[in-house]
A = this chain, B = another copy of it.
Amino acid sequence: MSLKKVILKTKPEGVPSVETFEVVPDSLSSLDDGMVHVKIQYLSLDPYMRGKISGRHLTEAIHPGDDMDGEVVAEVLESRAPDFAPGDTVTGMLGWREEAVMPADALKNVVTHGLSPSLARGVLGMPGLTAYAGTVNLAELRPGMTAVVSSAAGPVGTTVGQIARAKGCRVVGIAGSDEKCAWLKEEAGFADTINYKTEDLRAGLDRACPDKIDYYFDNVGGDMLQAVMERLAVGAQVVLCGLMSQYNDGGMPPGPNPAFTIIARATIRGLVVYDHAASSADAVAMVAGMIKAGDFAVQEDITDGIENASTAFVRLMSGQTFGKTLVKMI
């Protein structure tokens, strides 16, 4: 049985499709000194990849013909490096593939506190750290605040919302399906939700946030950010983390008028998760502790098999996934 990987076939215009990618045979480098041979368990699919394949992400672009890049959770099979031993759970940017032989410095041991390794790329990984950075490092959340989060059913959004809830905020999630909204209220303890596909966003915000909005964690930008900025309470805190609304088009559309920031005396902060690496252990400990205490709901969207990775990515980019989107290598 030959190993497989996924490459970028064409640079997509607009929303990517399964034809954007191609599954091709893969081969392993030799296990030289300092190298580690791993079997990938889970590939993480994330919206930032959309920017990388159109050359707009901060890190290096992916061009047609290149291997798809992406973060994985893997198990060490063989190791010729001192820091890794067979059976270790590791993470790294190993790409859309089934196995890899990598230099040890491309891998990082992860701690999952006895929980599923898949969580290492979700609420116990970068999404969890992103949420921690946006709620703990870059904001000051206090009991009684109205906290709104967009893309609320994603791993960042659910973690933001559940940390905010733990800090005593009244949490309102914006999501794109009734199923997600029901889960947020019933499982994740959100006080209210807005299904922006079936309810007018502004009417929903007025309904769910009668005392306006003290905290907003934005994954979307565009008109969603505009609608929230129109409803900020005095002293509001806004964390700008993602711009889902503009990842699929090349332009830089304008944003909200600065008057909304002035009127609310708001603080708006830009979040780039890489800046918060030093908080990783704290973020993992906080979220793992909440999971073990039964105070944190996790939703994962797991697709089996590398052949289905492109389908899963297209579902992610068109808002059809629910929870942390992963491909399980079987």
Contacts and interface: CB of A to CB of B under 8 A. Distances in A.
A140 to B, nearest CB: 13
Contacts of A272: 262-263, 265
A264 interface: yes
A258 B58 contact: no
A255 B252 contact: no
A114 interface: no
Interface stretch (A74-82, A84-92, A239-247): A239-247
Given A225-B258, A243-B258, A258-B255, A269 B270 contact: no
B252 A254 contact: no
Given A256-B255, A257-B252, A266 B262 contact: no
B268 A261 contact: yes
Contact of A243 (B252, B259, B275): B259
Among A58, A258, A268, the one with the most B-chain Cβ atoms within 10 Å of its Cβ is A258
Contact of A264 (B221, B253, B270): B270
Nearest to A257: B252
A interface bracket (residues with beta carbon within 8 Å of B): 20 to 34
A99 interface: no
A156 to B, nearest CB: 14
Contact of A261 (B58, B257, B270): B270
Contacts of A267: 267-270
A256 B254 contact: yes
Contacts of A256: 254-255
Contacts of A119: none
A322 to B, nearest CB: 25
A261 B241 CA distance: 9
A111 to B, nearest CB: 26
Contact of A263 (B241, B259, B265, B270): B270
A192 interface: no
Contacts of A98: none
A184 interface: no
A196 to B, nearest CB: 18
A259 B246 contact: yes
A275 B235 CA distance: 10
Interface of A: 58, 218, 221, 225, 240-241, 243, 246, 252-259, 261-272, 275
Given A240-B261, A255-B258, 14 more contacts: A218-B258, A221-B257, A221-B259, A240-B262, A243-B259, A243-B262, A253-B257, A254-B254, A261-B269, A261-B270, A265-B270, A265-B275, A267-B269, A267-B270
